Amino acid sequence: MEFQYVFNDETQTVKVERVGAQWAVTVMGETHLLTPTLGPTGEVTFTLNGVRWVAQATPDGERRWVALNGQTFVLTVPAKGKKQRRGKTGGHETLAAQMPGVVRRVLVADGDAVEKGQTLLALEAMKMEIKINAPHAGAVEKVLVSEGQTVERGQVLINLLAKA
């Protein structure tokens, strides 16, 4: 079976194949013969190139949380057939919340011309304020949220129209 995971925009394919009592696992161009065990709390243990790894991997939607030997990583399963809708399409651009929180301040209105770097909106979560700045000059097409509103991670806050 093949599994794909993305970390830092890089996709890794892991091929797993049963060979008798062992598993042949291919990743980053190398094949390893492993004898993994799955423990009572879901931890998987295996020895790779002489190093013993005890890993706890937990799914969370499309994310895979992997804790192993004192470190934790979040891998993502690439979405199938679904294009990421964020970003630019023909001068239109959407600005989304990088974190869930509450909209503290809205500093622009529909139709406003904005400069590159101008603060458009401030979000707050866990006592931390983050500013949403214009990535480049343009105009505010639509502000989709209002002050005091709670937003999710990835929720679109503002539609921008890039300067031609």
Partner 1 sequence: MSSSLTSLLIANRGEIAVRLIRACRELKIRAVAVYSEADARALHVREADEAVLLGPPAPKESYLRVDKILEAARQTGAQAIHPGYGFLSENADFAEAVHAAGLVFVGPSPAAIRQMGSKTGARALMEKAGVPIVPGLQENGQHKTEYDWLKAAQDIGYPVLVKAAGGGGGRGMRVVRDSAEFLEALASAQREAANAFGDATIFLEKYIARGRHIEFQVLGDQHGNVVHLFERECSLQRRHQKVIEETPSPLLVQHPFLREQMGRAAVAAARAVHYHNAGTIEFIVDPDTLQFYFLEMNTRLQVEHPITEMLTGLDLVHWQLRVAQGEALPFTQDQLTARGHAIECRVCAEDPAQSFYPSVGRLLRADEPRGPGLRVDSGFVGGDEISPHYDSLLAKVIAHATTRAEAIQKLDAALARYTVLGLTTNIAFLRDLLAHPEFVGGNATTQFIGQHFAQWQPPAPPPAAFIAAALTEQLAAPPANTPPAVAGASSPWDRKDGFRLGAGR
Residues within the interface to partner 1 (CB under 8 A): 1-3, 5, 7-8, 12, 14, 16, 23, 25, 27-28, 30, 32, 34, 36-42, 44, 46, 48, 51, 53, 55-62, 64-75, 77, 98-102, 125-128, 130, 150, 153
- The two tokens of residue 16 are 């797993």
Min dist. Cβ of residue 60 to partner 1 (A): 6
Nearest CA among 110, 134, 112 for reference residue 121 = 134
Min dist. Cβ of residue 127 to partner 1 (A): 5
End-to-end CA distance of the chain: give it in Å, rounded: 48
Residue 103 or residue 140: which is nearer to partner 1 going by CB? 103
Residue 113 or residue 150: which is nearer to partner 1 going by CB? 150
Min dist. Cβ of residue 145 to partner 1 (A): 15
**By the 8 A CB rule, do 130 and 81 touch?**
no
Residue 25 or residue 134: which is nearer to partner 1 going by CB? 25
Residue 12 or residue 116: which is nearer to partner 1 going by CB? 12
Min dist. Cβ of residue 83 to partner 1 (A): 18
Residue 27 or residue 161: which is nearer to partner 1 going by CB? 27
Nearest CA among 91, 90, 103 for reference residue 130 = 103
Query: What is the Rg, in whole angstroms, of the alpha carbon atoms belonging to the chain?
Result: 22
Min dist. Cβ of residue 140 to partner 1 (A): 23
**By the 8 A CB rule, do 15 and 2 touch?**
yes
| DSSP state string for 26-92 | EETTEEEEE--EE-TTSEEEEEETTEEEEEEEEEETTEEEEEETTEEEEEEPPPSSPPP--EEETTE
